[in-house]
A = this chain, B = another copy of it.
């Protein structure tokens, strides 16, 4: 769960009170089906914002809403991937494992993903970064789309502008769309702590969400893409959901229209997580100074990605030990959808990582990090 940021909660609460006080707005909120593409005024406001702020050449026809971004991925992956006929089986290429756990089961057929191991760049003794290993990427007729998250859940990795440009190029050359999961990314909530350029063009599908802004239970996903892709998505939405909910669009409409959604992200949401990130990174590194443990460079999202190099205890086992001590982390081995069994077996790294959330209450996170450091020390010592 994302954190509860008081100023953000207050703002949405005021907005909800306004809706409750306006019979007309309230009627639209509960009583009128949105079209399958989503609430059209809200879509218009988003298109205006993207054109105004980023000069993305988009109109209403380039945007569709979904019941959360997970639903968007389910539809997109099965639009571009899967079995089209007996001999035509397309995969979604994930150029940079580890990747988001939520993709794992999204395929209606097996083997929907093809993922590649990254290059691991050492930044200092306690810091590394994953980079796309372009030499190993194999793109052939079996690939239906390229997909990355930016920033990435679980690692906090933010692809460099160069990496994005090269992947975009590769996608174009191979005539497949380039999907960017921006649920934590630009333009909102912008949980990116590096200087990077937002990316969109006719061959790019950018997926956004209101969840990390503080509205996870509201389930609003936003897809920005070429018109024909948006048409297909609307069609799938109609079949699967009849229509999307009006709650998120109506809560967030004024914020998008005024552009305040960007200042809210910049002045409240991003600093909230960035501050916690800096603190958690420092604290954990201090705790682990004497251990062969390092962190992925903290570039965005709301997680520390811990690499226990050469640890005699694997990540799943560590997860269980931590759980017994009341600390919940996620074993890193879950975050490699599409990696071949051979790679998984041979690549010890995939069983040497943990995802740690630092978005919650500071005292709890502090205690959690201490137990984690302690448990790691024990694991190395045995």
Contact = CB atoms under 8 A, between A and B. Distances in A.
A79 interface: no
Nearest to A69: B242
A211 to B, nearest CB: 8
B241 A32 contact: no
B13 A241 contact: no
A28 B246 CA distance: 18
Contacts of A219: 67, 241, 243-245
A31 B242 contact: no
A34 B105 CA distance: 19
Count identical subunits in the complex.
Answer: 2
Interface string A54-79: 00000000000001101100100000
Contact of A217 (B21, B23, B30): B30
Given A71-B241, A71-B242, A219-B243, 19 more contacts: A1-B31, A9-B23, A12-B26, A16-B19, A16-B20, A17-B20, A17-B21, A30-B215, A30-B217, A33-B217, A67-B71, A67-B245, A68-B241, A70-B241, A105-B238, A108-B108, A217-B247, A219-B244, A245-B245
B240 A32 contact: no
Interface residues of A, number: 47
A217 B16 contact: no
B216 A33 contact: yes
A52 interface: no
Interface in A220-263: 238-247, 251
A38 to B, nearest CB: 11
Contacts of A245: 67, 217-219, 245, 247
Contacts of A13: 20, 23, 26
A369 interface: no
Interface in A1-21: 1-2, 4, 9, 12-13, 16-17, 19-21
B102 A242 contact: yes
A118 interface: no
Given A16-B26, A74-B240, A240-B74, A217 B31 contact: yes
A217 B9 contact: no
A106 interface: yes
A212 to B, nearest CB: 11
A214 interface: yes
A206 interface: no
Contacts of A23: 9, 13
5 contacts: A29-B217, A33-B216, A67-B71, A105-B238, A219-B241
Contact of A4 (B27, B34, B217): B27
Contacts of A16: 16, 19-20, 26, 29
